[in-house]
Amino acid sequence: MHWFWRKYEKRNLFQVYDERKTRTDMVLKRQILLFKIANTTVKISPSVFINILFLWAFLSWLTGIRHPERLIWERILTGVLASLLLLIADLGHTLAHIFSARYAGAPMDEIHIPSGMPRTIYHDNHVHPSVHRLRSFGGPIFNLLGLVISLVWHTLTLPGSMANDLATWSVIGFTFILVGSLTPLPYVDGGTMLKWTLVEHGRTLSQADAIVRRVDLILGALLITLGLVLLFWHMWWWGLLILAGAAIVIASGLGILR
């Protein structure tokens, strides 16, 4: 990766992207071209950096709430490093797809990273279902490896220490992205894996899409039940988190979220 960074930074770093190439680019015309990894163009929107600032401020504040004995610089440092770990879990997931796409023999052309969910762009998307599925494995495998390393790190650190805090954030970040990406939503890896497995087994594209949406509605109903049970048991935070997840899953099943 370092080699590519060096090779491209002189020509492409912070060049304003020519917005008139494709429709997706028209929507994202304020993005900047940042670098290339293995011939995949990675474009990051400037608003991402504002999100990171908010995340850093929030995590520093939260550290102060949980550890009032810590000095200001310790809270700020924990916030910076915890934000970095969450960023690695999130962006590392997307970038890992570059390598699984190469492995599948259908390289990715572009990655757009706006302030919301990153998008992977393949100019030629007419590939065999098994290739679609193989491409989707890179991100989850990256998160699984990161989670295992974070859990080992967590067990090696003293409870209450800054290192233990950071390991906890790392576990949270990698778990969240792993679980989120494997949920069978139409626009994440879990949905891609399910859809193309169905197509490979003889379903048409529209049949496979309909089944994925039906699975989401059933999953959403189960999550609502679980969320309500947790609220009944006074586990407020978990209950609300599961209900928020249920809302996303059901909105995806109804086609409101795409």
Q: Shortest Cβ distance from residue 250 to Zn ion (Å)?
A: 21
| Among 93, 92, 83, residue whose Cα is nearest residue 180 | 93
Question: Number of residues in contact with Zn ion, rule: CB under 5 A?
Answer: 3
Rounded to a whole number of angstroms, the minimum distance from the CB of residue 171 to Zn ion is 19
Nearer to Zn ion, 181 or 252 (CB): 181
- CA quadruple 72, 75, 80, 81: dihedral positive or negative? positive
Dist CA 164 CA 153 (whole Å)? 8
Q: Using the rule CB under 5 A, is 90 a contact of Zn ion?
A: no
- Per-residue mark of binding to Zn ion, 120-159 (x: CB under 5 A): -------------------x--------------------
* Cβ-closest position to Zn ion: 139
Closest approach of Zn ion to the CB of residue 186, in Å: 13
Nearer to Zn ion, 48 or 101 (CB): 101
Neighbouring residues of 25: CB distance < 8 A, sequence distance ≥ 6 = 17, 18, 19
187: how many CB neighbours lie within 10 A of its CB? Answer: 11
The residue among 110 and 189 lying less far from Zn ion, judged by its C-beta, is 189
- 125 CB-near residues (< 8 Å, 6+ apart): none
CB 108 to Zn ion: min, Å: 11
> Could you tell me the smallest distance in angstroms from the CB atom of residue 97 to Zn ion?
6
Please report how many Cα atoms fall inside a 13 Å half-sphere around the Cα of residue 37, on the Cβ side. 19
Q: Which residues ranging from 18 to 77 are in contact with Zn ion (CB under 5 A)?
A: none
**∠ CA 73-76-79, rounded to 5°:** 150
* Closer by beta carbon to Zn ion, 76 or else 144: 144
Which is nearer to Zn ion, 63 or 181 (by Cβ)?
181
Residues 229 and 32: their CA atoms lie apart, in Å, by: 46
Q: Are strands 119-121 and 32-37 parallel, antiparallel or unpaired?
A: unpaired
Closest among 26, 52, 36, 40 to 4, alpha carbons compared:
36
Closer to Zn ion by CB, 83 or 181: give it: 181
User: Using CB under 5 A as the criterion, what x/- string covers residues 170-209 for binding Zn ion?
Assistant: -----------x-------x--------------------
CB of 163 to Zn ion, least distance (A): 29
Q: Which is nearer to Zn ion, 165 or 189 (CB)?
A: 189
What do you get for the CA distance between the two ends of the chain, in Å?
32
As measured in angstroms, the least distance from the Cβ of 9 to Zn ion is 26
* Beta pairing partners, 36: 41
Q: Helix or strand or coil: residue 85? A: helix
Residues in touch with Zn ion (CB under 5 A): 139, 181, 189
